């Protein structure tokens, strides 16, 4: 388990990205598999409505800011 200081440090990092235009059928496992090639994923979540239907966007938190930057730069050149 991470200490309070480690958790606070992670929250201050600029390692979070928002992914939009996901297919409605996308799930967290698929999203993690797709983006894990850029680095260690700390957490991820697909936005859903109250009925559990996908809102076609998600959040990914990488361990390091550099991993998030690499992911963004890669997808700017080659969108999914």
Q: Using CA atoms, how far apart are residues 52 and 8, in angstroms rounded to an integer?
A: 30
Torsion sign across C-alpha atoms 70, 60, 46, 25? positive
Q: Could you tell me the maximum CA-CA distance found in the chain, to the nearest angstrom?
A: 38
Instruction: Find out whether 34 and 80 touch, Cβ atoms under 8 Å.
Output: yes
Q: 50 pLDDT exceeds 90? A: yes
Q: Hey, what are 30's tokens?
A: 């698929």
Is the full-model pTM beyond 0.75? yes
Q: How confident is the model at residue 75 (pLDDT cuts 50, 70, 90)?
A: confident
**CATH class entry, domain 4-77:** alpha beta
The domain spans of the chain are 4-77
């Amino acid at each position: 388990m991470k200490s309070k200081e480690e958790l606070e440090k992670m929250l201050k990092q600029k390692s979070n990205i928002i992914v939009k235009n996901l297919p409605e059928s996308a799930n967290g496992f698929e999203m993690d598999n797709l983006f894990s090639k850029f680095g260690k994923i700390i957490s991820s979540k697909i936005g859903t409505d109250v009925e559990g239907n996908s809102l076609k966007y998600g959040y990914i938190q990488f361990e390091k800011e550099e991993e998030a930057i690499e992911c963004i730069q890669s997808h700017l050149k080659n969108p999914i």
